[in-house]
Structure formats: structure tokens, C-alpha cells
Amino acid sequence: MKKFIKITAIIIALVSNSAAQNLKVFAASSTKFAMHEIVEEFKLQHPKDNIEVTYSATGKAYAQLLNGLDYDIFMAADSLYPKKIAEDGNALGEIKVYALGRLALFAHDPNLLKEGLESLKNKSVKHISIANPKVAPYGVAAMEILKNYNLLGDVKSKLVLGDNIAQSMQFVDSGAAEVGIVAFSLIKNKKENHYLPIDPTKYKPLEHSFVLTKYAKEKPLAQEFADFILSQKSQEIFKKCGF
């Protein structure tokens, strides 16, 4: 009898381990703090499953997907790239908006923020960090802001481009740039006099959207995680993190 119980326990363990799933998720760099917490919450109910999240510029990740990198869920910083994935025939299901991104002016010297965006013309500001608009939606939004405030001509030569919005933050933190136009979600926990939220009417809404890709077809965990992203719990986390 004891031998039977032991064998049964081994079989159950093997079945349990075989049921564990691996999920590959791309998430825009702006979501890093929020996604870390969301994944931890999700794993409380899925302790044996592995959620691998890669953070990068949305455009760069899209190129990787086209070249065969098997992201199961693609969480962009806009809706443009998920639409492209659908147009390419690489999407499963509908495109869903999971958060709205916001931008802010960020500097370690509070004096550089006193005049708002006009301070970017100040001679003491020699470098302005933004994400590369060729691959990052936040970079596109930053350029739009500069144009709408009629500042681009004055500050274009000062622009320093990060590969993604997280690197744009690092440029300011390291001193490589005095000021940055960055994701509010990455600076919300900084000192309040170190950032200044930018009027959201000065740039097109950053509708952070996700889509399940063709690689998620045989992975029920992908749909479960997608549902959790849209759950009240996750939405509260996104809001707390500055979305």
C-alpha cells in the first residue's frame, strides 16, 4: 500500500511539473515597474509557471518579432505596432488597450524646471534626453511636444536619443543629459520637485496596447495572463505607477 501511495505521488508530481507553462512577454520599457508587480501578483496563483518579460523599445521588439523571436504577448507603448502585428497575420484575437502613458519633464536640478518646457532653451541645458522616435512611441510623443510648444528649432541640436525610454531616464540619472522628456511611470517615485507632468493635450494619447501573437496559440496561460493584465488588480497597479 505504501509503495502504491509513493508511486501515485510521483505520478502526480510529474503531471504537475509537465503542466507548468513558460510564457514570453514583450513589454514596453515604460511599464517596467508596474509589470514587475503585476507578474508577482499573477504568480501567486501560478507559482510553477514561468513568465519571462523582456523590456525594450516597441519598434525594436516589433522588428525582433518579424525576425522570428517568439513573444507570446506583445505589450506595446502604443496601438500602432499591435495593429501592424495583426496586419502581418501574426496576431491572435483582438488588440486591447491596457494603460494610457503620460510624459513628464525630468531633471535632478529643480531650477531647470521652474520655467517649464521653456527652460529647455536655457543655456545651462546642453543636452535633452528623449527616446529615439524611430523605435519608441515615447520618442514620437516627445518630438510632438517640442513641435507643439514651438521649441524644436531651438533645442534640436541638444537632443540625445536613448534606445528606449528607460535609457533616456538613465541619461539624466548619469548626468549625460541635464533634462529629459520621459515616461511619468518611470519617475513617479522621484522627488516631486524633480519632475513636471506635461500637458497631455500636447501629444497624441499613448494607448498602451497588447495583442497575443501566433506563438501563444497552444498556450492557455497566455490568455489567462492577458485577462489578468486587464483585471481590476492590474489596473490599480498601473494607475499607482503613473499611468
Instruction: Please give the domain boundaries of the chain with CATH numbers for all domains.
Output: 2-101+206-240 (3.40.190.10), 103-197 (3.40.190.10)
Mean pLDDT of 13-21: 58
Give the model's pLDDT for residue 8. 45
Read off the DSSP letter of residue 33. H
Does pLDDT of 2 surpass 70? no
What is the spatial distance between Cα 212 and Cα 80, in angstroms, rounded to a whole number? Answer: 15
List CB contacts of 104: < 8 A, sequence separation 6 or more: 181, 182, 183, 184, 187, 195, 196, 197, 198
Mean pLDDT of 80-87: 97
Q: What is the pTM of this model?
A: 0.88
